[in-house]
């Protein structure tokens, strides 16, 4: 170990070496998310060709050897020599960071790629990359291994006047240590999203991994949506009752900023689901385009409500959350020079977009609602009903608050609080039933762990209105214990009393049901809790295997079978299956599920918000038919021995 630190120790990482050294900086992580990000980087280049008007068909193939091929019929990556690097355009784009046609210079008007690190990063993090470019009646091919070209650019004449690019790559197992197997559904949902956002582009997605599919035919899906985001809204709302059949659609361009908005209200939804996209990238954290849309919706609908005498002069304006109740909306903007806040591009920062969205949507929406008075009335009636329900809920809340003030303790009596007052280090366990609550209270570290036992099944809030929610005791305790405030707009992370909310239920069907009800509650009541990563699920063990003085906890049947298969054949051992958390001794519960050193927590994330919304509606909503169809479709894949029937 040298203690000196001199100039020799300062390293300069050349070219793609930097990417291999710190991959997380470029693709977010070296886990599954980063792995799939590689495919998105290549597909985004093809979609940018489509946005520029040169590409109509993108093919994505998952090959049997674990590699991926993305082919498009765009203009093809330029193959001429780039004066600055002395290499061909193709080699420059693949081996030089921050090289590309998207920094100005007329190659592209709008694109999702900004940093010019896309395909060069894919090249750096792949075992091999093979690129084929068709242009000028020639076919050009070149192969790279871990970022280094291993062949020259091979040029051959080609009979047809075909143009386009095909990129094949195999992710490097040295980088992606958790595995390099692509998940079909993850890629399918992003490709479907891209097809909806770019009307008219055809994306063909084929899975050739026959062993994985356990079939002799590749699986092929084609995504092509002439209606674009209007069809996306119809897809999300397929299992809801729309308030008006036609999806309201606004499209326009101003100062080179293209705006597309699609809106549809539903009668059987009590929250809004508005998704924002900028240059095809989903802006999870919102941004100026969403702010503009929310402001203009509130202003326009209030103006029409006054005009149609739905609101008297003396009555206050409807607030944004009432106007948006039951709304599914998508806004997609294409901005020439986007400013994203944060490297992961999840919040749009361009201030001019707010005004452009506001004026474009304002004009079209006002005109549409004046020509369709019945639609305007239906939306306004729902908003006013929401306003009245919110008033009733506010009275119920105040009643609860007053009651709790009279009882002198605003926190629920069942809550065993922790001594720390710093929410960043505090965690709360939501435990099923009093017996498990008792074990957890005894086994916890009372410095930073709080326990809230819940009695029975909590309310399914997908089916209930706000007034009922606030009258329910269990939900009341949840809201006050966590410091959630009121549904809708009042989420304030500084009011949150614990930064880790851990759902700890038994490993049986009832436990799974309670967990689902709690997740439904968090998703619909305060979605920001899940989006900002505050909600976790505890993983209690299923079995304890004892052999002499040694013991091991197993968290799944597979782990149990694996462990037993390693034991000698004549070994004596006993297996204890934990039916519920209440059966565990407090110290067992601490060691397996609550001790930060040894426990496993799953963080609840939303990868695909539209899909999450659809699934919550199907599984937790009022209508039985879609749920039955869902069970019939996926029931055959269940292992019936896993169910407590």
Considering only residues 579 and 235, tell me which one the structure prediction assigns the higher pLDDT. Answer: 235
Considering only residues 438 and 13, tell me which one the structure prediction assigns the higher pLDDT. Answer: 438
Q: What is the pLDDT of residue 371?
A: 93
Both 444 and 362 in one domain: the answer is no
CATH number at residue 257: 3.30.230.10
Q: Comparing C-alpha atoms, which of 218, 121, 27 is closest to residue 129?
A: 121
Both 36 and 181 in one domain: the answer is yes
Both 501 and 524 in one domain: the answer is yes
Residue 36 above 50 pLDDT? yes
> Would residue 7 count as lying in a domain?
no
State the DSSP string of 7-65. Answer: GGG-----TTHHHHH-HHHHHS-SSHHHHHHHHHHHHHHHHHHHHTT---EEEEEE-TT
Q: Give the DSSP letter of residue 416.
A: B
84 — pLDDT class (breaks 50, 70, 90): confident
Whether 358 is catalytic: no
- Which tens digits make up the pLDDT trace of 570-612? 888 888 888 788 888 888 889 888 999 888 888 888 776 677 7
| Mean pLDDT computed over every residue of the chain | 84
101 — pLDDT class (breaks 50, 70, 90): low
- Read off the pLDDT of each residue in 222-250 and give the average, rounded to a whole number: 92
- Integer Cα distance of 400 and 394 in angstroms: 10
The answer to the question of whether 253 is labelled as a binding residue is: no
Residue 341 above 80 pLDDT? no
- Read off the pLDDT of each residue in 293-297 and give the average, rounded to a whole number: 94
Both 219 and 233 in one domain: the answer is no
**Among residues 508, 559, 583, 611, which one is catalytic?**
508
- Read off the pLDDT of each residue in 478-506 and give the average, rounded to a whole number: 79
Q: What is the pLDDT of residue 393?
A: 74
> Would residue 399 count as lying in a domain?
no
Q: Comparing C-alpha atoms, which of 348, 151, 327, 159 is closest to residue 248?
A: 327
> Would residue 384 count as lying in a domain?
yes
- Which tens digits make up the pLDDT trace of 535-556? 999 988 888 888 888 888 888 8
Q: What is the pLDDT of residue 14?
A: 64
Q: What is the pLDDT of residue 207?
A: 94
Enumerate helices (H) and strands (E) in the chain, giving the number of each: 21, 22
Residue 407 above 50 pLDDT? no
Please, what is the Cα angle at 144 between 138 and 150, to 5 degrees?
A: 90
* pLDDT-wise least confident of 86-95, 182-191, 520-529, 629-638: 629-638
Both 251 and 118 in one domain: the answer is no
Both 210 and 234 in one domain: the answer is no
> Would residue 13 count as lying in a domain?
no
- How many domains does the chain divide into? 3
- Read off the pLDDT of each residue in 333-348 and give the average, rounded to a whole number: 78
Q: Which residues contact 418 (CB under 8 A, 6 or more apart)?
A: 426, 427, 428, 446, 447, 448, 449, 450
Whether 422 is catalytic: no
Residue 408 above 50 pLDDT? no
Radius of gyration of the chain (CA): 28
Q: What is the pLDDT of residue 409?
A: 43
* pLDDT-wise least confident of 105-119, 222-236, 281-295, 539-553: 105-119
Both 266 and 190 in one domain: the answer is no
Residue 405 above 60 pLDDT? no
Q: What is the pLDDT of residue 643?
A: 60
Both 415 and 500 in one domain: the answer is yes
> Would residue 456 count as lying in a domain?
yes
Residue 515 above 80 pLDDT? yes
* pLDDT-wise least confident of 18-22, 70-74, 395-399: 395-399
The answer to the question of whether 160 is labelled as a binding residue is: no
Q: Comparing C-alpha atoms, which of 453, 451, 446, 452 is closest to residue 418?
A: 446
> Would residue 547 count as lying in a domain?
no
Residue 401 above 60 pLDDT? no
Q: What is the pLDDT of residue 114?
A: 47
> Would residue 431 count as lying in a domain?
yes
Which structural domain range is residue 379 located in?
Answer: 229-391
**Among residues 510, 531, 607, 608, which one is catalytic?**
510
Both 472 and 585 in one domain: the answer is yes
Considering only residues 229 and 532, tell me which one the structure prediction assigns the higher pLDDT. Answer: 229
- Integer Cα distance of 458 and 401 in angstroms: 21
**Among residues 432, 462, 466, 613, which one is catalytic?**
432
Residue 486 above 80 pLDDT? no
Residue 66 above 80 pLDDT? yes
Burial class (CB in 10 A: 0-12, 13-18, 19+), 576: middle
Q: What is the pLDDT of residue 105?
A: 55
Residue 421 above 90 pLDDT? no
Q: What is the pLDDT of residue 5?
A: 67
Q: What is the pLDDT of residue 404?
A: 46
CATH number at residue 513: 3.40.50.670
Residue 406 above 70 pLDDT? no
- Which tens digits make up the pLDDT trace of 102-141? 655 556 666 665 444 578 889 989 999 999 999 888 999 9
- Read off the pLDDT of each residue in 149-177 and give the average, rounded to a whole number: 90
Q: Distances from the Cα of 163 to the Cαs of 283, 374, 573, 637, in angstroms?
A: 32, 50, 67, 43
> Would residue 631 count as lying in a domain?
no
Both 118 and 151 in one domain: the answer is yes
pTM above 0.95? no
Q: What is the pLDDT of residue 487?
A: 66
Query: Last residue of a domain, which of 223, 255, 289?
Result: 223
Q: What is the pLDDT of residue 358?
A: 93
Both 253 and 313 in one domain: the answer is yes
- Read off the pLDDT of each residue in 611-615 and give the average, rounded to a whole number: 78
- Read off the pLDDT of each residue in 222-233 and give the average, rounded to a whole number: 93
The answer to the question of whether 425 is labelled as a binding residue is: no
Both 239 and 170 in one domain: the answer is no
DSSP bridge pairs for 61: 69, 206
Q: What percent of the chain has pLDDT over 70?
A: 89
């Amino acid at each position: 170990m040298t203690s000196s630190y001199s100039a020799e120790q300062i390293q300069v990482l050349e070219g793609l070496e930097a990417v291999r050294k710190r991959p997380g900086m470029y693709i977010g992580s070296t886990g599954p998310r980063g792995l799939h990000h590689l495919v998105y980087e290549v597909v985004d280049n093809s979609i940018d060709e489509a946005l520029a008007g040169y590409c109509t068909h993108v093919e994505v193939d998952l090959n049997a050897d674990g590699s991926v091929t993305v082919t498009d019929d765009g203009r093809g990556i330029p193959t001429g020599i780039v004066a600055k690097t002395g290499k061909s355009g193709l080699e420059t784009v693949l081996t030089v960071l921050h090289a590309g046609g998207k920094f100005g210079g007329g190659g592209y008007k709008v694109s999702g790629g900004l940093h010019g690190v896309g395909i060069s990063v894919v090249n750096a993090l792949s075992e091999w990359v093979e690129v084929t470019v068709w242009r000028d009646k020639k076919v050009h091919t070149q192969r790279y291994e871990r970022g280094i070209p291993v062949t020259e650019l091979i040029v051959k004449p080609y009979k047809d006047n075909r143009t386009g690019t095909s990129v094949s790559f195999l992710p490097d197992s040295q980088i992606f240590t958790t595995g390099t197997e692509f998940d079909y559904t993850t890629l399918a949902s992003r490709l479907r999203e891209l097809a909806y956002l770019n009307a008219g582009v055809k994306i063909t997605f084929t899975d050739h991994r026959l062993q994985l599919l356990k079939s002799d035919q590749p699986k092929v899906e084609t995504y092509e949506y002439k209606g674009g985001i209007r069809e996306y809204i119809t897809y999300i709302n397929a299992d809801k009752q729309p308030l008006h059949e036609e999806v309201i659609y606004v499209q326009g361009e101003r100062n080179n900023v293209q705006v597309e908005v699609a809106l549809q209200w539903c009668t059987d939804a009590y929250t809004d689901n508005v998704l924002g996209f900028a240059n095809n990238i989903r802006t999870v954290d919102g941004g100026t385009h969403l702010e503009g849309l929310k402001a203009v919706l509130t202003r326009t609908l209030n103006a029409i409500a006054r005009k149609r005498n739905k609101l008297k002069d003396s009555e206050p304006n409807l607030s944004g959350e009432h106007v948006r109740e039951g709304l599914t909306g998508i806004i997609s903007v294409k901005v020439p020079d986007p400013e994203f806040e944060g490297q992961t591009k999840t919040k749009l920062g361009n201030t001019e977009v707010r005004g452009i969205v506001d004026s474009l949507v304002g004009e079209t929406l006002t005109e549409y609602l004046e020509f369709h008075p019945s639609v305007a009335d239906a939306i306004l009636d729902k908003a006013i009903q929401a306003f009245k329900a919110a008033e009733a809920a506010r009275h119920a809340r105040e009643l609860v608050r007053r009651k709790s003030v009279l009882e002198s303790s605003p926190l629920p009596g069942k809550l065993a609080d922790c001594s720390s007052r710093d929410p960043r280090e505090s965690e709360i366990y939501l435990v099923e039933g009093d017996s498990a609550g008792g074990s957890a209270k005894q086994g916890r570290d009372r410095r930073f762990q709080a326990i809230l036992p819940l009695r029975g099944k909590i309310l399914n809030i997908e089916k209930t209105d706000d007034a009922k929610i606030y009258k329910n005791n269990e939900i009341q305790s949840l809201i006050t214990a966590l410091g959630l405030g009121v549904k809708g707009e009042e989420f304030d992370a500084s009011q949150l009393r614990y930064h880790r909310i851990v759902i700890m239920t038994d490993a049986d069907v009832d436990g799974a049901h309670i967990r689902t009800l709690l997740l439904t509650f968090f998703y619909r009541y305060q979605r920001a809790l899940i989006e900002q990563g505050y909600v976790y699920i505890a993983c209690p063990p299923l079995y304890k295997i004892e052999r002499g003085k040694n013991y091991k906890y197993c968290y799944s049947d597979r782990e149990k079978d694996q462990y037993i298969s390693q034991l000698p054949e004549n070994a004596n051992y006993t297996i204890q299956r934990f039916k519920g958390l209440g059966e565990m001794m407090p110290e067992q519960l601490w060691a397996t599920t609550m001790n930060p050193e040894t426990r496993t927590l799953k963080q609840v994330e939303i990868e695909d918000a539209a899909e999450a919304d659809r699934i919550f509606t199907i599984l937790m909503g009022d209508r039985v038919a879609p749920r039955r169809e869902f069970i019939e479709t996926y029931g055959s894949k269940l292992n019936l021995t896993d169910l407590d029937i």
